[in-house]
Amino acid sequence: MTNANGRGRLIYGCMGLGGPWDGTSYGAAEIDQAAAVIDAAQGIGIGLFDHADIYRNGKSEAVFGEVLARSQGLREKITLQTKCGIRLGERGLQTHYDLSREAILERVNESLKRLQTDYVDVLLLHRPDPLMDPREVADAVGQLMAEGKVRQLGVSNMSAAQIAFLQDALEAPIVANQLEMSLLRSDWLEGTVLVNHPADAGYSFPHGTLEYCMSKGVELQAYGSLAQGRYTGARSGDLSPAESATATMLEDLAGVHGTTPESVLLAWLMKHPARISPVVGTTNPARISACADAAAVAGKMTRAQWYGLWTTARGSNLP
């Protein structure tokens, strides 16, 4: 199995770029921030940048596009991924989903304009749309691929059954599934060991999704991989006993491996044989740099350290 980006395993998540979520416009400060973040991400070997049409109401893509326009040769050096399928407060409705043919075509064309590029390397269908017709998706994606606007297709927040259902209608292979996965959000893992256990009822993650992706070569991309900084300083005064113990263990292991707690946190995901690619979403260049050793630490992390982190974070022993 190869990663969709075919480069380093870390992905940079651009949801924090572009200023506030409201309708205000962006300026030079937001473009400079995007440039600094892209620089910091490339500095630790990141080649894949993850977007969505909705991030900051289009401003995340727009500031990124401004940086691409002013940085000759940058587009060819990076891999761009964006998503479509969510409508935020449009058509008199609150958040709803739209994977109709018309919506896919319209939203990808708008993303390309904002990103100031002719193509995205990967398009992810952001969330399952209950009204989706897989033949319409296949038609829209087929057209975008034939036009050279989309090179590969993936999904996000989908179960094994949903991916298989879509794949049946598609010519192109589904190459990635982006899910929330971290030490804090570990139901993807709980579900693999609590089969036939009463505690299993407490987990909603669909059984078999991890195994399906692994056996079909669908790259697992983990969003929320830094647990929004919960273990690494973002909420230090507000942690449960299990979270506090996990933060301490991450620091201790960082000392053992001569690295940062952020790298250990991501290494825990990357040691899993699913070859998970963490999506890193901090806009702080120093925090991005703190993730540099993740892959190296994953290679050195012992089974005892991996299980120790998991059981500490879950706050109870495994059955």
Q: Which residues are catalytic?
A: 55
Q: Is 228 an interacting residue with respect to ligand NAP (CB under 6 A)?
A: yes
Q: Of residues 24, 240, 284, 302, which one binds ligand NAP by CB under 6 A?
A: 284
Q: Of residues 4, 10, 14, 40, which one binds ligand NAP by CB under 6 A?
A: 14
Q: Is 149 an interacting residue with respect to ligand NAP (CB under 6 A)?
A: no
Task: Determine the Cα–Cα distance for residues 210 and 214; give it in Å rounded to an integer.
Answer: 6
Closest CA to 10 of 56, 43, 52: 43
Q: Taking the mean position of all CA atoms in its chain, how far away is CA 27? A: 26
Nearer to ligand NAP, 5 or 283 (CB): 283
Q: Which of residues 240-279 bind ligand NAP (CB under 6 A)?
A: 279
Nearer to ligand NAP, 57 or 232 (CB): 232
Q: Are strands 96-97 and 174-180 parallel, antiparallel or unpaired?
A: unpaired
Task: Determine the Cα–Cα distance for residues 67 and 36; give it in Å rounded to an integer.
Answer: 10
Q: Which of residues 187-226 bind ligand NAP (CB under 6 A)?
A: 223-226
Q: Is 232 an interacting residue with respect to ligand NAP (CB under 6 A)?
A: yes
- E strands along the chain, which residues? 11-13, 48-50, 79-84, 86-87, 96-97, 120-125, 150-156, 174-180, 219-223, 277-280
Shortest CB 66 distance to ligand NAP, Å: 18
Shortest CB 234 distance to ligand NAP, Å: 3
Residue nearest to ligand NAP (CB): 229
Nearer to ligand NAP, 143 or 310 (CB): 310
Q: Is 134 an interacting residue with respect to ligand NAP (CB under 6 A)?
A: no
Calculate the alpha carbon distances from 126 to 31, 82, 212, 221, 227 in Å: 25, 9, 19, 13, 20
Q: Is 162 an interacting residue with respect to ligand NAP (CB under 6 A)?
A: no
The DSSP-derived string for 109-140 is HHHHHHHT-S-EEEEEE-S--TT--HHHHHHH
Nearer to ligand NAP, 194 or 281 (CB): 281
The DSSP-derived string for 253-278 is HHHHHTS-HHHHHHHHHHTSTT--EE
Nearer to ligand NAP, 167 or 178 (CB): 178
Q: Of residues 30, 50, 243, 293, which one binds ligand NAP by CB under 6 A?
A: 50
In terms of phi and psi (left: phi > 0; alpha: psi -120 to 50; beta: otherwise), the region of 228 is: left
Residue ranges that bind ligand NAP, judged by CB under 6 A? 13-16, 50, 156-157, 178, 223-229, 232-234, 279-284, 287
